[in-house]
Amino acid sequence: MSWFDASVMAKKGVAQGKPGASHFIGIKDQGTFHYVYGPYASPVLEVDPGAVVTVETHDAFEGKITSESDRPSEILNFPFLNPQTGPIFVRGAEKGDCLAVKIISIKPRGPQPVGTTCLLPEFGGLVATGQTAMLNAPLPEKVKKVRLDENGVYWSDTITLPYEPFIGTIGTSPEIEAISSLVPDYYGGNMDLPDVGPGSIIYLPVNKAGALLYLGDCHAIQGDGELCGVAMEMPATVQLQVDLIKGHTIGWPRLETETTIMTIGSARPLEDAARIAYRELVRWIDQETGMGQEEAYMLLTMAGKARLGNMVDPKYTIGTGIAKKYIGL
């Protein structure tokens, strides 16, 4: 038995973690991409719990930055950034349920150099921005195109970084809001958390009938915080398995791997993201073990792990976790 058979997804999902029908959404199938997470778009696909869906995603710039001599400020057209595939309608999903998404694989797609990163004006963790508004002059724009494959990210002649792909933006629709795909929040979205990669299961709250799953913005590798605001962006082919947990209401995204459970908070200032995540984890541990919230709070003081997702998006993201072995999972 693999760890997956004992996961929340396999134990509580409608499809019991078993793969169902296979589906494919190519770039052309998608046609029009989306720049908001909301209930106003028509589903591109409708599936049953258990569905295995293969999705082609654009990079965060929709492939428009093709050369190191490009000037992103002239090419990019806010708010039409971070194009999302979807929404995928999951049959049976209702407000108050939980959508479970197992990430099977993420592969780069398209001609080399596949990877793009850049410095954008007034965007990033170490520069003045539209929110942390200052009078200092911005840094100059700069584009870097990078070859990469499943064996590595070839940063320079001397530096090869590992290929550690994940989905930068994934989530369900809010009930009545349509929020920019640049934003992370309680429904997921642009969390930019490196843990959301192959081998993990992400759990998302269902806020609207059908759940309306969106995704995009895959990264080949990213450091903690996504410091300059643009990770190693790449077009990708993503394979997911979707399941539905009825009546399992969660406040914020959760993540499960073989060894760890994690909760994800997004807010400003950054301590509020950490508070959200850790409070959710206190509650989760207490629900699983019955040890009481205060005991869970003290245990996390000793054994909690925090992962800084982004400190650049409209809300910052932190994931907080604990080893399953400490709580008998």
135 makes contact with its own copies (CB under 8 A): yes
132 makes contact with its own copies (CB under 8 A): yes
325 Cβ contact list (under 8 Å, min separation 6): 259
Q: What is the 3-state secondary structure (H, E, C) of 110-165?
A: CCCCCEEEEECCCCCCCCCCCCCCCCCCCCCCEEEEEEEECCEEECCCCCEECCCC
Smallest distance, its own copies to C-beta of residue 14, A = 26
String marking each residue 238-277 x if it binds its own copies according to CB under 8 A: -------------x-------------x-xxxxxx-xxx-
Q: Which residue has the tokens 């081998």?
A: 199
Count the residues in the chain.
329
* Side-chain-facing half-sphere of 263: CA atoms under 13 Å: 22
119 makes contact with its own copies (CB under 8 A): yes
278 makes contact with its own copies (CB under 8 A): yes
Answer for which of 33, 35, 123, 214 binds its own copies (CB under 8 A) is: 35
Q: Coil, helix or strand for 191?
A: coil
Q: Which residue has the tokens 């569905």?
A: 51
Smallest distance, its own copies to C-beta of residue 265, A = 8
Of 46-54, 57-65, 68-76, 131-139: span binding its own copies (CB under 8 A): 131-139
Token pair in block for residue 187: 């429904």
105 makes contact with its own copies (CB under 8 A): no
Of 24-32, 97-105, 154-162, 234-242: span binding its own copies (CB under 8 A): 154-162
Smallest distance, its own copies to C-beta of residue 149, A = 15
Closer to its own copies by Cβ: residue 48 or 272: 272
Closer to its own copies by Cβ: residue 49 or 314: 314
Of 167-226, binders to its own copies (CB under 8 A) are 174-180, 221-226
Token pair in block for residue 96: 């108050």
Of 20-28, 60-68, 84-92, 128-136: span binding its own copies (CB under 8 A): 128-136
243 Cβ contact list (under 8 Å, min separation 6): 9, 13, 14, 15, 17, 49, 50, 99, 100, 101, 102
